[in-house]
Amino acid sequence: MNRIISEQYGLFRLYQQLREELLATLTDADLAFTPGGDNPPLGRLCVEIGETERSYVDSFVHFSQNFDYRHADRAIESSVAGLRAWYEQLDAELYAAVAALSDDDVAQRRIDRGHGFQVPAGVQLHIYQEALIIFYGKTTVYLKLLHKTMSDQWQHWIG
């Protein structure tokens, strides 16, 4: 077991679980909601964080990152069950990719994020955690407009 798994992944998993809580409060109809203007529907935001996670999974495998991946089936934007299944798959792949890193990979190798920006694997996972927090901040606006009540944990961690 590498240091990221033993020291960092437990807390990171708590941030992932907030996404599970989010899906538990939503209906398929909620995913079509948009606050208007240039803002995408909530379902599109949910797909975007999945596409982001895919880029992080691949970065731990290939030690380079790009954000070119797009989910092939746009129908997933309107299905809570589809999003839940996809997130579970991505989460399992992310864990497997991070767990497969050797101690030497964790200590020595860097993930190339492009434009000369290279980070250790532990920092890469932390950056993805920050992407989740940004996603939760965005979705909180939608949830408030939908009059959804979130748990005390959500309200304490996200707002």
Tokens of 95: 């864990």
Instruction: Show the domain range for 15.
Output: 3-157
Count how many domains the chain has.
1
Q: Is the pLDDT of residue 159 over 90?
A: no
Q: Count CB-CB contacts under 10 A for residue 47.
A: 23
| Sequence-separated (6 or more) residues with CB below 8 Å from residue 54 | 69, 90
Percent of the chain exceeding pLDDT 70 equals: 100
Handedness of CA 19, 21, 15, 38 (dihedral sign): positive
Q: Model confidence over 35-58: pLDDT tens digits?
A: 999 999 999 999 999 999 999 999
Closest CA to 91 of 12, 2, 6, 1: 12
Q: Is the pTM of this model over 0.85?
A: yes
Q: Model confidence over 73-87: pLDDT tens digits?
A: 999 999 999 999 999
pLDDT band at residue 6 under the 50/70/90 scheme: very high
**CA 57 to CA 128: how far, in whole Å?**
10
CATH number at residue 100: 1.20.120.450
